[in-house]
Amino acid sequence: MAKEGTEKQLTFFEFTTGLAFRYFAEEHVDIVVAEVGMGGRLDATNVIEPDVSVITRIGLEHTDYLGRTIPEIAFEKAGIIKRGAPVVTCERDPSILGIFGKKCDEFEVPLVRIEQDFAVDCIRQTLSGTSFNYSGKRDMMDLETALIGGYQAENAAAAIACLECLTEKGDNITEKDIRKGLTNARWPGRMQIVQREPLLIFDGGHNPDGVRMAISTLEALGTLPMTFVVGCMNDKDAREIVRTLAPHASKIIATQVNNKRALPADTLYEIVKEEFNGHSSVSMTSSRGIEMALESTLGKGVCVIGSLYLVGEAIQWKERNVRE
């Protein structure tokens, strides 16, 4: 739709973001956690006045829109920094922190940094979840979440640091509240254990950094090597994703999702054959790819990875085929 007298068209994301904000207002919600779609500075979500902002780690993604260097992307991310809202970050790179710090100084808000203002110690990772210790304005030991992976402990620590900022503004958030929230947190499609015999995992890692995080977690869990069912979108670095998976794969099955932006399975399969010397095959549908992997599992299990769209289709397959 376009505003009368203009030729400006709302994108689907802009329109649905507006609908969401209207719904939140009508329902009088207490807290909204709004994640940017891309970047930050020019994102549709950036019309709000936040109580606290958080920037996790920065990687090279959406480079055609955000810039081809980390400092350029950091500048776009820093666009969510606004007056009156403390900024929590898990970034450690001094050059990036310098960009954030300059923006925070401009708006006279504190920059709350991991390893300086708060810290996390991941003490246990299992197929059932993650345990960690947190230190910040208060210390909390043996926190537990069903989310799997050391990076999830770091994300949880950032969330706790945000809550501590809100507490300073007058919100009454107790340690009991935090522990309950962590225990109940679920994130379908992120290191999701679908079944254990044979082991089947769905992970939405869709860029090289995300896939590296997944591999690090799978290594900590002791589940490597695995059979990987891989599908990518055509605007992602599929070759680097395959290169990241290859040293840890017993088999790679290339597939594609039912989306016009999907990288064709045959194209991905050619990349797999160039980058991986082990067993490989191709499936034109994600559901058949999963079934092929389970029919002849090589390694310690099966992991579906490479695209959030792929994991979405995989979850639909699960609902039809896997009993809880």
Q: What is the pLDDT of residues 132-155, one digit of tens each?
A: 999 999 999 999 999 999 999 999
Q: What is the pLDDT of residue 2?
A: 52
Ranges of the chain whose pLDDT falls below 50 = 1
> Could you tell me the CATH superfamily of domain 12-184?
Mur-like, catalytic domain (3.40.1190.10)
Other Cβ atoms less than 10 A from the Cβ of 217: the count is: 22
Strands 119-126 and 129-135: antiparallel
Closest by CA to 311, choosing from 211, 192, 163, 219, is 192
Helix axes 70-77, 94-107, angle to 10 degrees: 30
| Dist. CA 38–CA 77, nearest whole Å | 9
Question: What pLDDT score does 314 carry?
Answer: 98
pLDDT computed for residue 156 by the predictor: 97
Spatial distance between the Cα atoms of 312 and 160, rounded to a whole number of angstroms: 28
- Residue carrying the six token digits 């606004």: 82
The whole-angstrom separation of Cα 221 and Cα 228 is 16
CATH match of 192-321 with 3.40.640.10: no
Nearest residue to 48 via CA among 12, 92, 80, 88: 80
Beta bridge partners of 244: none
Flag whether the pTM goes above 0.75: yes
Q: What is the pLDDT of residue 68?
A: 85
| Contacts (Cβ under 8 Å, ≥6 apart) of 199 | 127, 193, 223, 226, 300, 301, 302
- Who contacts 153 (Cβ-Cβ below 8 Å, separation ≥6)? 120, 122, 130, 132, 145
* Residue owning tokens 């820093």: 78
Write down the domain spans for the chain. Answer: 12-184, 192-321
pLDDT tens sequence across 198-246: 999 999 999 999 999 999 999 999 999 999 999 999 999 999 999 999 9
In whole angstroms, give the CA distance from residue 317 to residue 38: 28
Q: Could you give the C-alpha distances from 285 to 174, 193, 228, 242, 255, in angstroms and in order?
A: 47, 21, 14, 18, 6
